[in-house]
Chains A and B, each alone.
Chain A
Amino acid sequence: RKEVEQDPGPFNVPEGATVAFNCTYSNSASQSFFWYRQDCRKEPKLLMSVYSSGNEDGRFTAQLNRASQYISLLIRDSKLSDSATYLCVVNFGWHSGGYQKVTFGTGTKLQVIP
């Protein structure tokens, strides 16, 4: 089982739709969680950190479910500019080598259609 798993998509949704992505992780002791957005041939950009209580930033809502070991990202009122790949990132905490082990999912591709 992969440490971080995402549905690669693509998710093709019309403008104005609501879309949700899930990401599952393997280690229940994981420390922190993030969603990054990556445009084609560009670097990943931090979209949101995911907190235990859930958090919202405008049209974007992130949730954490520790019991089922997944995080989710909800995008409301999708815009054409939301078209990108969304990467789930899990910080598994301090590794025996003395660093914080961060693992990326392979990403979920979203295409918002006019």
Chain B
Amino acid sequence: ETGVTQSPTHLIKTRGQQVTLRCSSQSGHNTVSWYQQALGQGPQFIFQYYREEENGRGNFPPRFSGLQFPNYSSELNVNALELDDSALYLCASSSQQGAYEQYFGPGTRLTVT
């Protein structure tokens, strides 16, 4: 086990609603990255948090936002949900040191109807 946890495991929302997903990073890791993985695709980088600040973002609109807390846990918030937001959302924990290996949580499967 990686020690990275995510909640909830599954979620069903309606188009236009808002959702918050949570992630607890592995002990000793100060960086959390969030990914969206659609069926049949590789994970797509949403953004990364390091020491409570967003320090990198992929090609996702501003309605995707996040937070990192002093204990390095993190939240992903998505506003105005769209049908295409249905995906597996993965959180990855890492250290800024070394080769930058990332360890993933089990993911949250979001379905937007």
Q: Report if B29 contacts A (CB, 8 A).
A: no
Contact B107 A43 (CB under 8 A): yes
Main secondary structure of the interface of A (DSSP, over half): strand
Nearest residue, chain A, Cβ from B91? A43
Q: Which residues of B contact A32 (CB under 8 A)?
A: 99-100
Interface string of B74-113 (1 = CB under 8 A from A): 0000000000000010100000100111111111010000
Q: Which of A31, A87, A97 has the most CB of B within 10 A?
A: A97
Identify which of B13-21, B49-57, B61-69 touches chain A.
B49-57
Task: State A4–B44 Cα separation when bound (angstroms).
Answer: 12
Contact B41 A46 (CB under 8 A): no
Task: State A97–B40 Cα separation when bound (angstroms).
Answer: 29
Task: State A67–B84 Cα separation when bound (angstroms).
Answer: 39
Contact B104 A45 (CB under 8 A): yes
Q: Which residues of A contact B55 (CB under 8 A)?
A: 97-99
Give the interface size bracket for B toward A: 20 to 34
Task: State A95–B58 Cα separation when bound (angstroms).
Answer: 11
Q: Which residues of A contact B2 (CB under 8 A)?
A: 45
Given A43-B107, A44-B90; A102-B102 close (CB under 8 Å) = yes
Given A42-B106, A44-B90, A95-B56; A87-B42 close (CB under 8 Å) = yes
Nearest residue, chain B, Cβ from A33? B99
Given A49-B99, A95-B56, A106-B41; A43-B106 close (CB under 8 Å) = yes
9 further contact pairs, Cβ within 8 A, besides A43-B104, A45-B2, A87-B43: A44-B90, A44-B104, A97-B56, A98-B55, A99-B48, A101-B45, A101-B56, A104-B42, A105-B42
Chain B interface residues (CB < 8 Å from chain A):
2, 33, 35, 40-45, 48, 50, 55-57, 88, 90, 96, 99-107, 109
Chain A interface residues (CB < 8 Å from chain B):
4, 31-32, 34, 41-46, 49, 87, 89, 91, 95, 97-107
7 CB contacts below 8 A, A to B, read: A31-B99, A34-B101, A41-B109, A46-B103, A87-B42, A91-B100, A104-B42
